[in-house]
Amino acid sequence: MTASATTASATDRVYNFSAGPAVLPESVLREVQEEMMCLPGAGASLLEISHRDKLFIEILQDAESTLRSLLGISDDYSVMFMQGGATLQFSAVAANLLRGTGKKAEYLLTGSWGKKAIEEAKKEGNVGVLFDAAKTNYDRLPTASDYSCPDDAAYLYYCSNETIQGVQFASEPECPDSVPLVSDASSDFLCRPLPIDRYGLVYACAQKNAGPAGVTVVVMRKDLIDIADENIPGYLHYKNHHENESEWNTPPTFAIYVLGKVARWLRDDIGGLANMEDINRQKSESLYKIIDESNGFYRGHAQTDCRSLMNVTFNLPSEELTTKFVAEAGSHRLAALKGHRSVGGIRASIYNAMPREGVEALGNFMTDFASRNG
């Protein structure tokens, strides 16, 4: 990490299946690199200019408007950029929408992140768990007949894609019109179109599909913003961020800048979220096909009807073969494939910026590995 370290070139890049922080579009990294010493017009790096500088304000507003156009977000919703990741949102959601309401917040528990969200919510008020997939190690999702959400719930919360388990809701879960639907969309945000008007609040930390670690996007129906108790910690109060257009305090300027470039890449290079979804379906289906046709050599963790477009999780016949798979993949420049310890096996995270070529290379390796070891 010193100035004397050998400079690695772009040709040293591997296919990086990290679950997050994760692969970014190469064109975005190149722009960031070109502008690092001097942002055009600024006379300084983006890292060095004030968040109140008009050049940064333009970058912030451009990031917001690109997100609005990609997702079709209406003026009924606020778009905020915050710090603290999904973890801070676990508290913020409950502090704003549950504390002091006398109501109960309802949760669908479908994986590791939902579990953490519930722990934080319990500090703020009464919490119900309408569905709990713990007993099958979070390999499935609820259907409408599996639960019933009361009409007077403070909100209904779910995690649209559980990164660790690789389960993803195909569409919004059933929710009464009177109840704000809240989603932790951290790991599938921007992977496909999202009907924002079905939601009270959607948030996503950026480091999967949207940018680097350090910024979280919050999309919130405006009528919900001002109901919170005034005594919740100021940084957690959405009202402060909304009213000050994400500049209540110094925002994470660099992460917002990169996020804006990723959003532009999605709009201009990919052609929008419907196109992105097509590509993501092709990429994930090609891997699931190899799993399904491996005669049981590869066993998917998630039930087939809730497989994730983003995180393909599967097991091999033995711990030994899993270790061998990861090591051999590494020598083929296929990196960061080890599954999370709670699920084991392999996790191939194939977010938006993972090129088709990377997925093809992984698919070819999987087929070859199975034929040699099956």
Q: Which of residues 19-48 bind a copy of itself (CB under 8 A)?
A: 19-24, 26-27, 29-45, 47-48
249 is an annotated ligand-binding site residue: yes
Q: Which of 62, 245, 328, 360 binds a copy of itself (CB under 8 A)?
A: 62
Transcribe 88-121 into DSSP letters: HHHHHHHHHHTTTS--EEEEEE-SHHHHHHHHHH
Q: What would the two tokens of residue 212 be?
A: 């680097």
Q: Which 70-89 residues touch a copy of itself, going by CB under 8 A?
A: 83-88
Q: Decide whether 117 or 191 has the Cβ nearer to a copy of itself.
A: 117
Q: Which amino acid is present at 315?
A: N
Q: Which stretch binds a copy of itself (CB under 8 A): 245-253, 278-286, 301-309, 361-369?
A: 245-253
Give phi and psi for 40, each to the nearest 5: -50, 125
Q: How many residues bind a copy of itself (CB under 8 A)?
A: 89
Q: Which of 12, 75, 151, 357 binds a copy of itself (CB under 8 A)?
A: 12
Q: Which ranges in the chain belong to alpha helices (H)? A: 26-35, 54-71, 85-97, 112-122, 238-243, 253-264, 273-292, 319-331, 356-373
Annotated active-site residue in 184, 261, 265, 283: 184
In the complex, the smallest distance separating the C-beta of residue 144 from a copy of itself, rounded to whole angstroms, is 32
Neighbours of 98 (CB within 10 A): 25
Q: What is the rounded distance in angstroms from the CA atom of residue 257 to the CA atom of residue 215?
A: 10
3-state secondary structure of 278: helix
Burial 340-358 (b: 16+ CB within 10 A, else e): beebbbbbbbbbbbbeeeb
Give phi and psi for 222, each to the nearest 5: -65, -30
Q: Which of 71, 109, 220, 232 binds a copy of itself (CB under 8 A)?
A: 232
122 is catalytic: no
Q: What is the rounded distance in angstroms from the CA atom of residue 181 to the CA atom of residue 232?
A: 22
307 is an annotated ligand-binding site residue: no
Annotated active-site residue in 208, 261, 283, 338: 208
Binding status of residue 120 toward a copy of itself by CB under 8 A? yes
Q: Decide whether 75 or 357 has the Cβ nearer to a copy of itself.
A: 357
In the complex, the smallest distance separating the C-beta of residue 17 from a copy of itself, rounded to whole angstroms, is 10
3-state secondary structure of 298: coil
Q: Which of 54, 74, 119, 197 binds a copy of itself (CB under 8 A)?
A: 119
Binding status of residue 9 toward a copy of itself by CB under 8 A? yes
Q: Which of 54, 123, 222, 289 binds a copy of itself (CB under 8 A)?
A: 123
113 is catalytic: yes
Q: Which 165-224 residues touch a copy of itself, going by CB under 8 A?
A: 205, 207, 212-215
In the complex, the smallest distance separating the C-beta of residue 21 from a copy of itself, rounded to whole angstroms, is 6
86 is an annotated ligand-binding site residue: yes
Q: Decide whether 70 or 232 has the Cβ nearer to a copy of itself.
A: 232
- In sequence order, the β-bridge partners of residue 131 are 108
Q: Which of 72, 233, 271, 374 binds a copy of itself (CB under 8 A)?
A: 233
Q: What would the two tokens of residue 58 be?
A: 């333009």
Q: Which of 69, 222, 227, 234 binds a copy of itself (CB under 8 A)?
A: 234
- CA dihedral of residues 59, 65, 66, 69 (deg, nearest 10): -170
248 is an annotated ligand-binding site residue: no
Tell me the residue length of the chain.
374
Annotated active-site residue in 12, 54, 104, 113: 113
DSSP summary character for residue 162: E
In the complex, the smallest distance separating the C-beta of residue 23 from a copy of itself, rounded to whole angstroms, is 5
- In sequence order, the β-bridge partners of residue 35 are none
248 is catalytic: no
Q: Which amino acid is present at 344?
A: G
Residues tagged active-site: 113, 184, 208
